[in-house]
Every structure is written in structure tokens, then in C-alpha cells.
């Protein structure tokens, strides 16, 4: 019991710092959204936000690319980790190469190669599809999948150690089939890091700005792009609109965090 309390006390300073910084930012955003600089407290900004078709389109587009990017990254990362867990260090190093590369650099490279008139079109004489500027955001999803799949795969490989291999071998000796081993042995071991990593990816994509701006369509944009555009017109009203829009994505990220914690605790039991 004493060790448990010591472990909890060790994370108190970091928790306080996060609470102050994040909580202060959230409180400031809430105040900005309900108390305009030129008026009394009201919910007019929120009513106007959800009555704006452009915001609803940006919310749908953000949810779409977040879901696609996260699900595809998770599936590909799981497949890559299963294929490479007994591989050499060289292959794992090659898998990790995209992780430290900035998202902005990958997005710029995608534009240079895949945009109309880009390098790929000049070399191949034309592409059968348009990824950059695609109205469904496929180019945005491609960049995120390229960046986040190795990140998730490394989390899974860290969880797939010798202990897991030993349990799999023991299950195989007792006649457990491969799919059953994946469900009963591998999945409980990787569920917590996979869910945690998926939450990180989803939260990042929800608030990302640079990749959709470069690779995504002109319309609709993400919620972050909508918030940025809101401040370009009426600065006073735009600040409230931008704060309210970003609070929506923050609320979604908080809900995802609660779901992830519940799933992780289920894995622990």
C-alpha cells in the first residue's frame, strides 16, 4: 500500500503542471467563447457556431479523417508488429525512420510529389487519382497513416517481448489455434498500448492544422482550419468563434480519453 501511495505521489508534480497549463487554457477558451470582448456573457457564439453550415461541414470532415487515419494506422501497425516482432534490428530501425520526421515535412513532400503537376506526374506522365486536394481528404489520411503507423507499431513491438512469445508457445503446445492465440494471448498483451497509442493519434489528428492546410481540399477544412479562418474577419467575434470551435474538438478528445482509460482498465482485469 505504501508503494502505491509513493507511486501516486511521484506523479503529483507533473499532474499539477498539466492541470494548471491545460486547465488554464481551457478556462480561458471557455471565457472567450461566452464573454465577447465587446459585450456581456451570452451563448450567442455557440448558437451561431452550430447554425453555421461551414462549421458542421468542418466537424464532419475532421471526424472523417480522424476515424480513417486512426483505424488504418491501428490495423497496419498491428499487422506490421506481428510480421516484424521476430525480425532483425535493421528492419525495426527502417520501420522507425518516419517517426522523427515532422508532419509538415511529410506534407510538403506529398505536395511536391503527388500534387497535379508534381514530380510523380512528370515522371509517370499522369496519376490515375488526385490525393492532394481530394475532397474526401485521402491525401491527408495518407500522410497521417505514413507517420502514425510506425509509431503505433513500435509501441506494439515493445509489448511483444519474450514473455509473450513464451505464452504463445505454451498455448500452441496445448493445441490452441493461431487465431485463438491472437485473441486470447496476444490481444490482452497489446490492447493497452494499442488503445493508448490510438488515442494519441486521434487527439493529434483532431487538432492538427498544417497537414490538412497543405494536402487537404480548399473546402471543407478541419475544425482547426475553421478556427483559424474565423479570426481573419472580425477579430473580436472571431476569437469567440475560434475558441468555441476548438473547445468542441477538446471535448471529443476528452471523451476519447475516458473511453481509452476504460478499455485499458478492462485489459488490466
- What is the mean predicted confidence (pLDDT) over 240-265? 84
Residue 3 confidence (pLDDT) above 50:
yes
Residue 110 confidence (pLDDT) above 90:
no
What's the pLDDT at 70?
94
Q: Where are the domains of the chain?
A: 1-34, 46-268
CATH of 46-268, one of 3.40.50.2300, 1.10.3720.10, 2.60.40.10, 3.60.70.12: 1.10.3720.10
Q: Which three cell numbers stand for residue 205?
A: 489528428
Quick one: 30 exposed, middle or buried, by C-beta within 10 A (0-12, 13-18, 19+)?
middle
What's the pLDDT at 165?
66
- Residue 269 — pLDDT band, cuts 50, 70, 90? very low
Residue 1 confidence (pLDDT) above 70:
no
Q: What is the pLDDT of residues 69-109, one digit of tens each?
A: 999 999 999 999 888 877 777 888 888 888 888 888 898 88
Please state, rounded to an integer, the average pLDDT across all residues of the chain: 82
Residue 231 confidence (pLDDT) above 60:
yes
Top-ranked range on mean pLDDT: pick from 42-46, 157-161, 200-204, 229-233: 200-204
Q: Which residues contact 144 (CB under 8 A, 6 or more apart)?
A: 65, 69, 73, 103, 201, 205, 208, 211
Q: What angle do CA 97, 214, 32 make, to 5 degrees?
A: 105
Question: Which range is least confidently modeled, 180-184, 213-217, 253-257?
Answer: 180-184
CA distance 264 to 266: 5
- Residue 67 — pLDDT band, cuts 50, 70, 90? very high
Residue 195 confidence (pLDDT) above 80:
yes
What pTM, to 2 d.p., does this model score? 0.84
What's the pLDDT at 96?
86
- What is the mean predicted confidence (pLDDT) over 183-204? 84
Provide, rounded to the nearest whole percent, the portion of the chain with pLDDT above 70: 88
What's the pLDDT at 62?
94
- What is the mean predicted confidence (pLDDT) over 131-154? 90
Residue 57 confidence (pLDDT) above 50:
yes
Residue 56 confidence (pLDDT) above 90:
yes
DSSP state of 1: -
Alpha helices in 85-209 (DSSP H): 89-96, 103-114, 119-124, 138-159, 162-173, 178-181, 187-207
- What is the mean predicted confidence (pLDDT) over 228-237? 77
Amino acid at each position: 500500500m505504501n508503494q502505491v501511495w509513493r507511486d501516486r505521489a511521484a506523479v503529483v508534480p507533473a499532474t499539477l503542471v498539466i492541470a494548471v497549463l491545460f486547465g488554464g487554457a481551457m478556462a480561458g477558451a471557455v471565457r472567450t467563447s461566452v464573454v465577447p470582448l465587446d459585450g456581456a456573457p451570452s451563448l450567442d457564439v455557440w448558437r451561431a457556431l452550430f447554425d453555421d453550415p461551414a462549421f458542421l461541414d468542418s466537424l464532419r470532415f475532421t471526424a472523417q479523417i480522424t476515424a480513417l487515419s486512426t483505424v488504418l494506422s491501428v490495423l497496419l501497425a498491428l499487422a506490421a508488429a506481428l510480421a516484424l516482432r521476430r525480425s532483425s534490428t535493421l528492419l525495426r530501425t527502417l520501420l522507425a525512420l518516419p517517426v522523427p520526421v515532422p508532419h509538415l515535412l511529410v506534407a510538403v513532400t506529398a505536395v511536391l510529389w503527388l500534387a497535379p503537376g508534381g514530380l510523380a506526374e512528370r515522371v509517370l506522365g499522369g496519376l490515375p487519382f488526385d490525393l492532394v486536394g481530394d475532397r474526401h481528404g485521402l491525401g491527408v489520411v495518407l500522410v497521417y497513416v505514413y507517420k502514425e503507423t510506425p509509431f503505433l507499431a513500435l509501441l506494439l513491438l515493445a509489448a511483444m517481448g519474450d514473455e509473450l512469445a513464451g505464452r504463445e508457445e505454451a498455448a500452441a503446445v496445448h493445441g490452441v489455434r493461431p487465431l485463438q492465440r491472437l485473441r486470447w494471448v496476444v490481444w490482452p498483451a497489446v490492447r493497452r498500448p494499442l488503445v493508448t497509442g490510438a488515442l494519441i493519434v486521434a487527439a493529434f489528428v483532431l487538432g492538427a492544422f498544417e497537414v490538412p492546410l497543405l494536402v487537404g481540399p480548399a473546402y471543407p477544412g478541419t475544425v482547426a482550419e475553421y478556427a483559424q479562418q474565423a479570426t481573419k474577419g472580425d477579430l473580436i467575434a472571431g476569437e469567440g468563434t475560434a475558441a468555441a470551435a476548438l473547445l468542441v474538438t477538446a471535448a471529443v478528445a476528452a471523451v476519447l480519453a475516458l473511453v481509452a482509460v476504460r478499455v485499458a482498465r478492462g485489459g488490466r482485469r
